[in-house]
């Protein structure tokens, strides 16, 4: 198995993709808006991916947070609020905010499970900082690490109730970034004490099944490399200081924060300590280059992947989609 997550080019698999995926056997796939039309089409696409590999338990993820980060959109699917909505409710009623976040995530997860997805790149545990770039902004659950962790945990629990594996991001924290890492490399120059504040939610949820790195350079830890490519940050900060035990994947390697070819970056990310390399844009040359450059997935990574996918089995749903949305909206109305 190739330790990579690949994107798809369209609404259906091309013949070249089908042949390549069968041969490369990646750890999983990520869908974007270009891959999403309606329920029947997405379900057919995910079933096609399963058929290639002959396994029902296949990692197929998407960026579906709510707010401005949503690949499955109205009118086919419902609109979900951003993290900021639960942060506002938390000011008035913390327990209600936690329950609303849990119900919201379960409803969102039911949408994903219905069409054959098994995972979501959600929740972000980035602590919000005033004056930072808006790339995080209202996606964050707030400026208090304890609150971010509480709402993040509720989101993971809600997704799990729907049979969906969550992924905490962006480790060790994107909330201070003054630039959009999709377009350039952000550099965070604060000291250790300030960074302790940012890693606290990740430390609290260190047992989450999946995590995603940040394409951010933290000069207090590594003046040269962003976290994704930094052996020090991954080993000493993410694995040791935070204590993250789950499967760690890079953020998308095709983002402009990183310099170099995508296959080279994938090899660097794996060498630095990422378990999986994420490549979202379905460029065949990049994907074949990644498959050629990366070693086969080691047994310990395969075991972590299997555990992550199995972590949501046997968890019962607590309501229908309509019931969950009604419960969420009644709670959010308290802060309206």
Q: What is the pLDDT of residues 223-236, one digit of tens each?
A: 999 999 999 999 99
Residue where the block lists tokens 């995603």 = 212
Residue 252 a catalytic site member? no
| pLDDT (0 to 100) of residue 56 | 86
**What's the whole-number average pLDDT of the chain?**
97
Is the predicted pLDDT of residue 134 greater than 90, yes or no? no
Is the predicted pLDDT of residue 178 greater than 90, yes or no? no
Choice among 63-77, 103-117, 172-186, 287-301 with the minimum mean pLDDT: 172-186
- The architecture that CATH gives domain 2-335 is Alpha-Beta Barrel (3.20)
| pLDDT (0 to 100) of residue 336 | 85
Catalytic residue among 251, 252, 275, 286: 251
pLDDT tens string 235-271: 999 999 999 999 999 999 999 889 999 999 999 999 9
CB 198 within 8 A of CB 175: yes
DSSP assignment of 284-326: HHHHHHHHHHSPPPPHHHHHHHHHHHHTTTTPPP-S-HHHHHH
Residue 251 a catalytic site member? yes
| pLDDT (0 to 100) of residue 183 | 87
Rounded Cα distance between 46 and 51, Å, is: 9
Q: Closest Cα to residue 135, out of 172, 179, 83? A: 179
Sketch the domain layout of the chain as residue ranges: 2-335
Q: What's the number of CA atoms in the CB half-sphere (13 Å) around residue 38?
A: 2
C-beta neighbour count of 313 within 10 angstroms: 9
Give the bridge partners for 226, in sequence order.
217
pTM > 0.95: yes or no: yes
- Average pLDDT rounded to a whole number, residues 77-95: 97
Catalytic residue among 23, 182, 207, 285: 182
């Amino acid at each position: 198995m190739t330790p990579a997550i690949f994107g798809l080019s369209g609404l259906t698999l091309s013949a070249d993709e089908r042949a390549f995926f069968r041969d490369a056997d990646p750890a999983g796939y990520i869908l974007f808006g270009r891959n999403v039309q309606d329920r029947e089409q997405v379900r057919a696409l995910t079933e096609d991916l399963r058929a290639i590999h002959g396994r029902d338990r296949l990692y197929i993820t998407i960026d579906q947070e709510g707010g401005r980060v949503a690949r499955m959109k109205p009118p086919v699917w419902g609109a979900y609020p951003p993290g900021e909505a639960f942060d506002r409710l938390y000011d008035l009623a913390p327990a209600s905010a936690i329950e609303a976040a849990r119900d919201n995530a379960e409803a969102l997860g039911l949408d994903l499970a219905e069409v054959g997805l098994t995972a979501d790149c959600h929740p972000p545990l980035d602590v919000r900082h005033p004056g930072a770039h808006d790339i995080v902004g209202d996606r964050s659950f707030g400026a208090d690490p304890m609150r971010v962790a509480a709402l993040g945990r509720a989101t993971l629990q809600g997704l799990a109730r729907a049979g969906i594996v969550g992924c905490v991001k962006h480790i060790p924290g994107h909330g201070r970034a003054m630039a959009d890492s999709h377009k350039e490399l952000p550099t965070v120059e604060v000291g250790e004490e300030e960074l302790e504040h940012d890693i606290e939610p990740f430390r609290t949820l260190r047992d989450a099944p999946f995590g995603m790195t940040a394409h951010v350079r933290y000069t207090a830890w590594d003046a040269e490399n962003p976290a994704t490519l930094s052996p020090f940050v991954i080993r000493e900060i993410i694995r040791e200081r935070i204590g993250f035990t789950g499967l760690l994947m890079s953020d998308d390697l095709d983002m402009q924060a990183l310099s170099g070819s995508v296959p080279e970056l994938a090899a660097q990310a794996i060498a630095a300590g990422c378990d999986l390399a994420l490549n979202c844009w379905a460029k065949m040359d990049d994907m074949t280059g990644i498959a050629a450059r990366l070693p086969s997935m080691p047994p310990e990574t395969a075991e972590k992947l299997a555990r992550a996918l199995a972590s949501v089995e046997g968890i019962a749903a607590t309501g229908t989609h309509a019931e969950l949305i009604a419960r969420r909206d009644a709670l959010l109305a308290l802060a309206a």
